[in-house]
Amino acid sequence: MVNKWIKRIYTAMMFIFLYAPIAVLIVFSFNDSKSTAKWEGFTFEWYQALFDNSYIMKSLYYTILVALVSAALATLIGTFAAFGIYYMKVWKQKLVLNVNSIPMLNPDIVTGVSLMTLFVAMNIQLGLMTMIIAHVTFNIPYVVLSVLPKFRQMPGELMEAALDLGATPWYAFKKVILPEIKPGIITGALIAFTLSIDDFVISFFTTGSGVSNLSIAIYSMARRGIKPEINALSTLMFGSVLVLLLIINKRTKIEDI
């Protein structure tokens, strides 16, 4: 019995630790004062300020744009890559997968500075394009690794069977293989999208020309101290994460039934 209570208290303390900072941000996003020193009444002023802040709004636009484009590209390249890798000779497969895992294992900062070095040495102007390339680069490995297992789970020589029956390779890929690997593609695309939305370090080193994503915007504002607009932004982001999770939760439940 005592044991049970210890567990409950421990769990409660953990959740307090995890949520207290977020709760503080949410509460102070409605505070009618610039400081977090004391509560001075309720206001929506900071939400207004947030939407009026063109820097944050532009960063939000770039964040979503980069996430969509890089996730789509990474999924496309990664899916075909998994298809190719699946049919490779074993030693080749091992080699490719080892290279594939480099961006996942390497510290972000090393990936970031190495890409920046490449772009600068090639005299490519840093900006939206370089940021998208960087995002595709760190997204592809995850797509490959979520699609590849689906090929491995595929029953036998499906592709061969289809080809024997007279299908063109492209037709066989589309009608036979694609449905089998679809769940892997979707997972891969989702992972890529989330990683891209959340990235700071690699974007920080590979962007320029006034293009910044939300993480960079938050970083440069946070370095200058407490900004109530960021509190408002946190509240909105936390809200959308919750809504997203509820939707996913509901969907999986329906699928369970």
Partner 1 sequence: MKKLILLALAMMLLVTGCAGEEKGQVLNVYNWGDYIDEDIFEIFESETGIKINYETYATNEEMYTKIKTGGTKYDIAIPSEYMIEKMIREEMLQEIDLSKIPNIKNINDRFMDLSFDPGNQYSVPYFWGTVGIIYNSESIQEPIDSWSVLWDEKYKGEFTMMDSQRDSIMVALKELGYSMNTRNLDELEEAKELLVAQKPLVLAYVGDNVKDMLISGEASMAVVWSGEASAVIQEYPEFKYALPKEGSNLWFDNIVIPKDAQNSDAAHAFIDFLCRGDIGFKNADYVGYATVNNETMKLLDPDLMDTTYAYPKDEWIENFEIFNDPGDFITEYDRIWTEIKAN
Partner 2 sequence: MLKKIASGPYLVWILLFILIPILMIAFFGMVRIDPETGNYFFTSDNFKRVFEGVYLSVWTRSIFIALKATFICLVLGYPMAMILSRMDVKYRTIAVMLFVVPMWMNFLLRTYAWMTILGKNGVLNKILTFFGLPQMTFLYSEGAVLLGMVYNFLPFMVLPIYTVLSKMDNGLIEAAEDLGANKFNSFRKVILPLSIPGIVSGISMVFMPAVSTFVISNLLYGGQYMLIGNLIEQQFLVVNDWHFGSAISIILMIIILLTMAIMNHLSGNDPEDGGANLW
Residues 177-206 that bind partner 2 (CB under 8 A): 187, 191, 194, 198, 200-201, 205
Joined together, the tokens standing for residue 87 give 């049919």
Among 161, 178, 226, 243, binds partner 2 (CB under 8 A): 226
Judged by CB under 8 A, does residue 133 bind partner 2? Answer: yes
Binding track over 67-86 against partner 1, x by CB under 8 A: -xx--xx-xx--x-------
- Does 223 bind partner 1 (CB under 8 A)? Our answer is yes
Report the residue from 193, 218, 229, 232 that binds partner 2 according to the rule CB under 8 A.
218
Buried b (16+ CB within 10 A) or exposed e, 73-107: bbbeebbebbbebbeeeeeeeeeeeeebeebeeee
Site string for partner 1, 123-162 (x = CB under 8 A): x-xxxxx--x------------------------------
SS3 31: strand
Q: Which does 137 bind (CB under 5 to 8 A by kind): partner 1, partner 2, none?
A: partner 2
- Chain positions 165 to 194 lying near partner 1, rule: CB under 8 A, are 174, 178
Smallest separation (angstroms) from partner 2 to the CB of 44: 19
Nearest to 69 by CA among 147, 139, 159, 122: 139
Q: Taking CB under 8 A as the rule, which mask of x and - marks residues 41-70 in contact with partner 2?
A: ------------------------------
Q: Please, which residues have CB within 8 angstroms of residue 225's CB and are 6 or more apart in sequence?
A: none
CB 256 within 8 A of CB 237: no
Q: How far is the CB of 63 from partner 2 (least distance, A)?
A: 10
| Structure-block tokens of residue 113 | 């500075």
DSSP state of 88: S
Contact between 91 and partner 2 by CB under 8 A: the answer reads no
Concatenate the DSSP letters of all residues of 163-221 into one string: HHTT--HHHHIIIIIHHHHHHHHHHHHHHHHHHHHH--HHHHHH--TT---HHHHHHHH
Classify residue 29 by its DSSP letter.
Answer: T
Contacting positions for partner 1 (CB under 8 A) = 35, 37, 65, 68-69, 72-73, 75-76, 79, 116, 119-120, 123, 125-129, 132, 174, 178, 208-210, 220, 223-226
